[in-house]
Amino acid sequence: MKVGILGYGNLGRGVEYAVEKNDDMELVGVFTRRDPGSVSVRSGAKTYHVDDLPNMKDDIDVLIICGGSATDLPEMTPKYAGMFNVIDSFDTHARIPEHFSNVDEAAKKAGKIGIISCGWDPGMFSLNRLYSMSVLPGGKDYTFWGKGVSQGHSDAIRRIEGVKDARQYTVPVPAALDAVRSGQNPELTTRQKHTRECFVVAEDGADQEAIRQAIVTMPNYFADYDTTVTFISEEEMKRDHSGLPHGGSVIYTGETGEGNKHVIEYKLNLDSNPEFTGSVLAAYARAAYRMNKNGESGARTVFDIAPVMISPLSGDEIRAHYL
Amino acid sequence: MKVGILGYGNLGRGVEYAVEKNDDMELVGVFTRRDPGSVSVRSGAKTYHVDDLPNMKDDIDVLIICGGSATDLPEMTPKYAGMFNVIDSFDTHARIPEHFSNVDEAAKKAGKIGIISCGWDPGMFSLNRLYSMSVLPGGKDYTFWGKGVSQGHSDAIRRIEGVKDARQYTVPVPAALDAVRSGQNPELTTRQKHTRECFVVAEDGADQEAIRQAIVTMPNYFADYDTTVTFISEEEMKRDHSGLPHGGSVIYTGETGEGNKHVIEYKLNLDSNPEFTGSVLAAYARAAYRMNKNGESGARTVFDIAPVMISPLSGDEIRAHYL
């Protein structure tokens, strides 16, 4: 199975590692909007300009698109679904129906498969919401994120005047987690579910109190949360905050019979958010390839894909060893 | 969707509750090998003798078979897959390939779907082993059961002379759970993973020390575990041990990139094992019905079934609200 990677940021690098771990996959090349000569690819795979893609339709079985959800993917995924089997990690929840429909149209026209919104949330978390809800209808689902780095929130802090660098951790509130796990079905406000911990490197002479105020009052990002701001040095930032850990829990509570309670929890504890997301993309790229070989076309999500399709093993092997 | 239940023990009662919770399902009747007049069905659904089944092929969309894995299901599931879409919770892991093949042959011949080994283990636990293994190849999976009642182990104690009643709890060892969750990838013996707690009502004048010895030395069931035996009264048994709670965790640890660790845990905490298993069976009965309506036939497991097939919601609704 020949794989192309479009975009070589953190996620593209994560996919590159994942492709190496899967014996049935081969990395054809990394595609970039930059000058290909300027991009140094860790594995030594070939680099190409994105404009070379239309000439490589026969060389790539699945193109894994590693772009941003805000502007890249809404344009890129439908475009390349017209040429290749594609997969992306589109995560703007409100725009998923529109994105699905655009990819579906392009993929059907080209006779290709386009898998959207794949990763861990949306992705593995979504699967667990759906499985639980289907098994225990009428229950309640909770999603907690963290402890982990939110890149969007870190970027928002970096845009404040006087800020040199910043890292924001989303942290679930332990008391809220405990209440949900105990099956109490609490109603929780935004503030009760998560806190936000910010580590900031300020520019020399910057007004730290003004920066702190700008963060904690920022609408949408911080105003609805209990937010702590800690100023650190550049050295401390590099030493203590260079990783991109993340994770969280989907917890579902439901009842059966005469008041019997059930709690289902799916929990991720990830050292590297982009490498785990890249691993999910690689596994589902396998499904895109297989479904297309079976003659299917159009857009798909993790919900539409039988688990056996993402495994390198045969049905016989899986039933014998994993059932 | 018209559902029949074959067998009215704890699991059959669990399925009965589950069918009531799903608006798109209707319980046609309960089928039994006993005298139907002697079986009192909680919901008031009709009872039939099992021999009536061949005359009701047009009245039932899916037959949910609630028999035992030792002798009932190996015979029943292939037999009724020749007449109906069927589903069972066959859990003798070593015999799954043989059972799958028997059901596959019968179901294909009849143009029906037969889903086997559905529940939580095998079932939801199996799904989580497969998803994790596919996303993070080369990792390690651990399954812990409990705290919960093992009916097989409780029955084994009841067969000892002088025992009036017994309840056995399987309990994961906290230190083993902690070591696995921390990503240490320990090698664990049977004894290191679980302990067994037994509560026994002895007959008047029975030799309690002899009973204790018979339990803790019993091969396969107890000899390889640290087992505690507590003698209690009939009243205490009824008051404190009448439920059938169970649960456990599937924990998978894997690596990506340059030593980044990831821990995936799926955890169930169930007040009622048979009611939860019954709920899983009902959800997958929906998939059996839909797949057969789509023209498919043959044996299936949870691995072969796209998640969307078990949900009462449409693809549009699921994408908009659960992705």
**Mean pLDDT in consecutive groups of 10 residues from the start of chain B, 323 residues:** 97 98 98 96 97 97 96 97 98 94 98 98 98 97 96 94 97 97 94 97 97 96 97 98 97 97 98 98 98 98 98 96 93
Task: Give the number of A-B residue pairs with CB atoms closer than 8 Å.
Answer: 213
Among all chains, which residue has been given the structure tokens 């990506």? B256
Residue A19, min C-alpha distance to chain B (Å): 11
Tell me if B244 sits within 8 A of B199, measured CB to CB: no
Q: Closest by alpha carbon to A241, among A126, A142, A147, A156?
A: A147
Report the first-to-last Cα separation within chain B, whole angstroms. Answer: 26
State the complex-level ipTM.
Answer: 0.96
Burial string for A289-303 (b: 16+ CB within 10 Å, else e) reads bbbbeeebbbbbbbb
pTM above 0.90, yes or no: yes
Alpha-carbon span B24 to B3, nearest angstrom: 10
**A24 part of contact set with chain B, CB < 8 Å:** no
- Using CB atoms and an 8 Å cut-off, which of residues 60-99 of chain B contact chain A? 93, 96-97
Between chains, do B320 and A96 touch, taking CB under 8 Å as contact? Answer: yes
Helix, strand and coil percent figures for chain B, each rounded to 5: 40, 25, 30
Per-residue confidence (pLDDT) for residue B236, from 0 to 100? 98
Provide the 10 A C-beta neighbour count for residue B208: 12
- Using CB atoms and an 8 Å cut-off, which of residues 94-133 of chain B contact chain A? 96-97, 100, 117, 122, 124, 126-131, 133
Residue A62, min C-alpha distance to chain B (Å): 17
Tell me which chain B residues have a C-beta less than 8 angstroms from the C-beta of A264: 124, 266-269
Q: What is the DSSP string of A169-196?
A: EEEE-HHHHHHHHTT------HHHHEEE
**A276 part of contact set with chain B, CB < 8 Å:** yes
Question: A262 to chain B: nearest residue by CA?
Answer: B270
Contacts of A273 (CB under 8 A, 6+ apart): A148, A149, A244, A245, A246
Between chains, do B117 and A320 touch, taking CB under 8 Å as contact? Answer: no
Between chains, do A260 and B275 touch, taking CB under 8 Å as contact? Answer: yes
- Outline where B25-173 has alpha helix (H): 72-81, 96-110, 124-135, 151-158
Between chains, do A134 and B311 touch, taking CB under 8 Å as contact? Answer: yes
Residues of chain A under the 50 pLDDT cut: none
Q: Tens digit of pLDDT for each residue in A167-214?
A: 999 999 999 999 999 989 999 999 999 999 999 999 999 999 999 999
Helix, strand and coil percent figures for chain A, each rounded to 5: 40, 25, 30
Between chains, do B21 and A138 touch, taking CB under 8 Å as contact? Answer: yes
* Bond preceding residue A122 cis, omega within 30 of 0: yes
Residue B195 tokens, joined? 């302990």
Tell me which chain A residues have a C-beta less than 8 angstroms from the C-beta of B10: none
Q: Closest by alpha carbon to A186, among A194, A172, A175?
A: A175
Tell me if A142 sits within 8 A of A180, measured CB to CB: yes
Beta strands A246-256 and A260-270, pairing class: antiparallel
Paired residues of B171 in beta bridges:
B195
Between chains, do A21 and B138 touch, taking CB under 8 Å as contact? Answer: yes
> Residue B267: CA atoms inside 13 Å, Cβ hemisphere, count?
19
**B134 part of contact set with chain A, CB < 8 Å:** yes
